[in-house]
């Protein structure tokens, strides 16, 4: 009797095959229901984490500028690759870096100065001729000063855009009458001329002014040795949808001007890499200016510089939802599953920089409404509504 009861108790400790199949079936059903929502939740957390990283890094750049008393740039590095393994232009930023803006160059000697000249003979003094003995660095170091750098002349704080790299010439010293080699820096005058406007030219072509002026040249930022930061896997800054003001997309490659009607340019020309975006924080903490690299069909590059004309909006989204370089506004407005773009995804975030106060905030993306489905500009304006209002709250 005892052995019979023991045998029955042992048999009751296990599960039958039918019971195991029922348990496994329940687990499969629960997994099918919960895993998609869990995946979406984890993906949303990644985007929020990426927005926090971008906000914090921008704050660090601003703090460094205030602490050092020198401009510091936030560099949005544009990812570059192509399907065949070559260089290609994308509109996603996966890594942030910090850049230094060097102190103004005032010549190789403390008293370096130059004469204003009119090399084009159009009655406008739009070049500065500096004796090579006082600014040999400009003549000997290639790329030390380039187009789109800035120059101040005399005691004025007005800055003029340099038109091209400095060149060497031989001119006649207006005082001694002897021939001397000079470095010529050509710049563009902004009209109307505001405070500190330069005098008009006197005399014939290449006539030099009698007065010598000190100068200060401000160069573009360069990447520093400070550590870069990479955004979480699968997240990025969508440069197609990032830019200035309510609807601006100035950081997108399709907004960068080209001298060719081919877009994107052929891979063989090497014109696909449009380069990073630079946002410059000044010593006061304000975002003073920004740069973007421009590529032309002849292979030449230059930098476009501008002052922020509105809030700077960075869209934090997912890499698989970034549009191709050839932007299609109709496809970007698609809300269909599998073809959702970052501007239509309400789980994405914005990081917004107020260039006037230096305030930095992050905010969520409002869901698209039927009223804004008519155009991409209307959707961008709607998507940035909360981002704009967020700056009325305390900064992060």
Which of 220, 244, 260 terminates a domain? The answer is 220
Q: What pLDDT is recorded for position 393?
A: 45
Q: What pLDDT is recorded for position 203?
A: 45
Which of 158, 193, 220 terminates a domain? The answer is 220
Query: SS3 for 89?
Result: strand
Q: For residue 215, give the nearest of 287, 143, 114 by alpha carbon.
A: 114
Q: Which helix (H) or strand (E) holds 377?
A: helix 376-383
Q: Are residues 93 and 128 in the same domain?
A: no
Q: Are residues 209 and 83 in the same domain?
A: no
Using the predicted structure, report yes or no on whether residue 360 has a pLDDT greater than 70.
yes
Q: Are residues 335 and 384 in the same domain?
A: yes
Average confidence (pLDDT) over 372-383: 87
Alpha-carbon distance 103 to 124, whole Å?
A: 29
**Tens digits of per-residue pLDDT, 321-334?**
988 776 777 777 77
**Tens digits of per-residue pLDDT, 267-296?**
334 445 577 899 999 999 999 989 887 665
Q: Are residues 216 and 147 in the same domain?
A: yes
What is the CATH number for 234?
A: 3.55.40.10
Q: For residue 112, give the nearest of 213, 237, 234 by alpha carbon.
A: 213
Q: What pLDDT is recorded for position 23?
A: 81
CB 315 within 8 A of CB 348: yes
Most confident option among 199-203, 260-264, 372-376 = 372-376
**Global confidence as pTM:** 0.72
371 versus 111: the higher-pLDDT residue is: 111
Q: Tell me if 108 is assigned to some domain.
A: no
Residue 300 is given by DSSP the state: -
Q: Tell me if 17 is assigned to some domain.
A: no
Which token pair is 78? 């544009």
Residue 40 is given by DSSP the state: H
Using the predicted structure, report yes or no on whether residue 263 has a pLDDT greater than 50.
no
Domain count, the chain: 2
Q: Is the dihedral of CA 231, 235, 240, 245 positive or negative?
A: negative
Residue 162 lies in domain? 113-220
Which of 204, 220, 236 terminates a domain? The answer is 220
Using the predicted structure, report yes or no on whether residue 128 has a pLDDT greater than 90.
yes
Q: Are residues 215 and 242 in the same domain?
A: no
Q: For residue 90, give the nearest of 240, 305, 278 by alpha carbon.
A: 240
Q: Are residues 174 and 213 in the same domain?
A: yes
Q: Are residues 210 and 240 in the same domain?
A: no
Q: For residue 247, give the nearest of 345, 341, 348, 315 by alpha carbon.
A: 315
Q: Are residues 283 and 381 in the same domain?
A: yes
Q: Are residues 142 and 246 in the same domain?
A: no
Q: Tell me if 162 is assigned to some domain.
A: yes
Q: Are residues 243 and 377 in the same domain?
A: yes
CB 104 within 8 A of CB 216: yes
Which token pair is 252? 């997108």
**Tens digits of per-residue pLDDT, 48-85?**
999 999 999 999 999 999 999 989 999 999 887 555 54
158 versus 92: the higher-pLDDT residue is: 92
Q: Are residues 354 and 253 in the same domain?
A: yes
Q: Tell me if 188 is assigned to some domain.
A: yes
Query: SS3 for 281?
Result: strand
Q: Are residues 377 and 342 in the same domain?
A: yes
């Amino acid at each position: 009797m005892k052995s019979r009861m023991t045998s029955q108790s042992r048999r009751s400790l296990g599960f039958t095959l039918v019971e195991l199949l029922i348990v496994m079936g329940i687990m499969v059903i629960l997994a099918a229901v919960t895993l998609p929502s869990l995946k979406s939740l984890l993906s949303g957390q990644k985007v929020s984490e990426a927005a926090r990283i971008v906000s914090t890094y921008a704050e660090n750049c601003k703090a460094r500028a205030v602490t050092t008393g020198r401009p510091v740039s936030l560099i949005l590095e544009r990812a570059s690759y192509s399907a065949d393994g070559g260089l290609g232009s994308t509109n996603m930023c996966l890594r942030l870096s910090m850049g230094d803006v060097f102190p103004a160059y005032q010549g190789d000697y403390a008293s370096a100065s130059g004469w204003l000249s009119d090399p084009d003979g159009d009655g406008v003094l739009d070049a500065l001729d500096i004796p090579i003995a006082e600014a040999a660095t400009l003549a000997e170091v290639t790329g030390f000063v380039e187009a789109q750098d800035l120059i101040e002349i005399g005691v004025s704080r007005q800055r003029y855009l340099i038109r091209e790299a400095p060149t060497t010439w031989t001119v006649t010293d207006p005082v001694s009458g002897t021939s001397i080699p000079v470095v010529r820096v050509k710049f563009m005058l902004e009209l109307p001329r505001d405070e500190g406007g330069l005098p008009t030219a006197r005399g014939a072509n290449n006539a030099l002014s009698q007065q010598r002026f000190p100068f200060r040249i401000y160069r573009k930022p360069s990447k520093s040795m400070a550590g870069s930061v990479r955004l979480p896997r699968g997240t990025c800054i969508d440069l197609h949808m990032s830019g200035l003001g309510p609807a601006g997309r100035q950081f997108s490659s399709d907004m960068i001007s080209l001298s060719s009607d081919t877009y994107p340019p052929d891979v063989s020309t090497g014109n696909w890499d449009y380069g990073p975006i630079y946002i410059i924080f000044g010593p006061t903490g304000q975002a003073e200016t920004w740069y973007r690299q421009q590529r032309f069909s002849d292979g030449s590059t230059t930098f476009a510089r501008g002052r922020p004309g509105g809030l700077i909006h960075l869209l934090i989204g997912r890499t698989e939802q970034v549009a191709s370089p050839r932007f299609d506004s109709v496809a970007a407005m698609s809300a269909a599953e599998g073809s959702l773009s970052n501007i239509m995804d309400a789980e994405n975030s914005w990081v917004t920089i107020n260039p006037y106060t230096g305030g930095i905030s992050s905010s969520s993306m409002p869901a698209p409404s039927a009223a804004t489905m008519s155009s991409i500009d209307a959707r961008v304006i709607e998507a940035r509504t909360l981002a704009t209002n967020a700056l009325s709250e305390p900064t992060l």
